[in-house]
Structure 1
Amino acid sequence: MDHLRYSGFSFEAQREALLAIVSADPLVRDALAQARSLDLPDWLVVSGALYNSVWNHLTGKPSGYGIKDVDLFYFDDSDLSYEAEDGVIARTATVFAGLPLPVEVRNQARVHLWYPQKFGRPCPRYTSSSHALRFFASRTHAAIRYDADGQLELVAPFGLDDIFSFRITPNRVMDNQQTHEAKGRRAKDTWPEISVVPW
Structure 2
Amino acid sequence: MVIGHLPLDEQLAALKSALSRNEMLLEVLRGTASLALPGWYVTAGCLFQTVWNVVTDRPPTSGIKDYDVFYFDDGDLSWEAEDAVITAGKEVFADLPVEVEIRNEARVHLWYEQKFGVACPPHRSTESAIDCFAATTCCLGVRLETEGRWRVYAPHGLSDVFNLVVRPNPVLAPRAVYETKSDRWRRQWPELTVLDWPSAPTTSKKSSS
- Same fold, TM-score > 0.5, yes or no: yes
Gaps of 5+ in 2: 198-209
Instruction: Say which of 22, 25, 42 aligns to 1:25.
Output: 22
Cα distance in 2 for residues equivalent to 1:177 and 1:159 = 22
Name the aligned partner's letter for residue 8 of structure 2: F
Partner SS state of residue 137, structure 2:
coil
Of 76-85 and 172-181, deviating more is 172-181
Q: Which residue of 2 aligns with 1:144?
A: 142
Q: Which residue of 2 aligns with 1:34?
A: 31
Q: Which residue of 2 aligns with 1:182?
A: 180
Aligned pairs, number: 196
Q: Which residue of 2 aligns with 1:82?
A: 79
Name the aligned partner's letter for residue 79 of structure 1: D
Quote the offset at 1:87 in angstroms: 1.0
Cα distance in 1 for residues equivalent to 2:23 and 2:145 = 20
Distance change in 2, residues 1:82/1:31 (3 Å): same
Name the aligned partner's letter for residue 89 of structure 1: I
Do 1:140 and 1:167's aligned partners in 2 also have CA atoms closer than 8 Å? yes
1:45 is aligned to 2:42? yes
Q: RMSD value over aligned CA atoms? A: 1.3
Partner SS state of residue 7, structure 1:
helix
Name the aligned partner's letter for residue 51 of structure 1: F
Q: Which residue of 2 aligns with 1:15?
A: 12
1:164 is aligned to 2:162? yes
Do 1:41 and 1:76's aligned partners in 2 also have CA atoms closer than 8 Å? yes
Cα distance in 2 for residues equivalent to 1:50 and 1:33 = 15
Quote the offset at 1:149 in angstroms: 4.2
Name the aligned partner's letter for residue 70 of structure 1: Y
Cα distance in 2 for residues equivalent to 1:128 and 1:150 = 23
1:92 is aligned to 2:92? no
Name the aligned partner's letter for residue 18 of structure 1: L
Name the aligned partner's letter for residue 72 of structure 1: V
Do 1:27 and 1:63's aligned partners in 2 also have CA atoms closer than 8 Å? no
Partner SS state of residue 198, structure 1:
coil
Provide, for residues 89-125 of structure 1, a one-character-per-residue CA deviation record: whole Å limited to 9, x for no partner: 1110011112221011100000011101111111121
TM (normalized to structure 2)? 0.90
Quote the offset at 1:28 in angstroms: 1.1
Partner SS state of residue 158, structure 1:
coil
Quote the offset at 1:163 in angstroms: 0.5
> After the TM superposition, which segments of 4 or more aligned residues of structure 1 sit over 6 Å from their partners?
none
